Structure 1
Amino acid sequence: MKSKSGAIFITGLIAGTLDVVAAITIYAGILNKTTGVKILQSIASGIFKKEAYSGGSQMALYGLLLHYFIAFTFTWFYFTVYPYFSFLKKNTLISGIVYGIFVWIIMNLVVLPVVFPVLPEKHLDFPLFLSMIILICCIGTPIAFLHKKYLSLR
Structure 2
Amino acid sequence: MPNRRKSKSITILLTCLLTGTLDAIAAFLISYKIPPVVIFKFIASGWFGKQAMSGGIGTVLWGLIFHYLIATIFSVVFFQLYPAVINILKNKYFTGIVYGLLIWVVMNYVVLPFTNIPKAHGHINPLSLIKGIVALIICVGTPIALMADNYYKKQY
* TM-score with structure 1 setting the length: 0.89
Match of 2:150 in 1: 149
2-side partners of 1:145 and 1:50: how far apart? 37
Say which SS state the counterpart of residue 31 (structure 2) adopts.
helix
2-side partners of 1:121 and 1:143: how far apart? 33
Match of 1:64 in 2: 64
Q: Note if contact 1:113-1:119 (Cα within 8 Å) is conserved in structure 2.
A: no
2-side partners of 1:113 and 1:121: how far apart? 16
Q: Note if contact 1:101-1:136 (Cα within 8 Å) is conserved in structure 2.
A: yes
Gaps of 5+ in 1: none
1:9 shift after superposition = 0.7
Match of 2:105 in 1: 105
1-side partners of 2:51 and 2:65: how far apart? 17
Distance 1:103 1:122, change over 3 A: farther
2-side partners of 1:14 and 1:48: how far apart? 26
Aligned residue-pair number: 149
1:26 matched to 2:30: yes
Q: Note if contact 2:82-2:148 (Cα within 8 Å) is conserved in structure 1.
A: no
Q: Note if contact 1:122-1:128 (Cα within 8 Å) is conserved in structure 2.
A: no
Percentage identity across aligned positions?
Answer: 42
2-side partners of 1:24 and 1:118: how far apart? 20
Distance 1:18 1:118, change over 3 A: closer
Q: Tell which deviates more after alignment, 101-110 or 144-153.
A: 144-153
* TM-score with structure 2 setting the length: 0.88
1:83 matched to 2:83: yes
2-side partners of 1:122 and 1:84: how far apart? 39
1:22 shift after superposition = 1.1
User: Could you report, residue by residue, the CA deviation over 1:53-88 in whole angstroms, capped at 9, with x for unpaired residues?
Assistant: 111222111101100000000000101112233224
Match of 1:55 in 2: 55
Gaps of 5+ in 2: none
1-side partners of 2:145 and 2:95: how far apart? 6
2-side partners of 1:61 and 1:55: how far apart? 10
Q: Note if contact 1:92-1:145 (Cα within 8 Å) is conserved in structure 2.
A: yes
Q: Note if contact 2:30-2:131 (Cα within 8 Å) is conserved in structure 1.
A: no
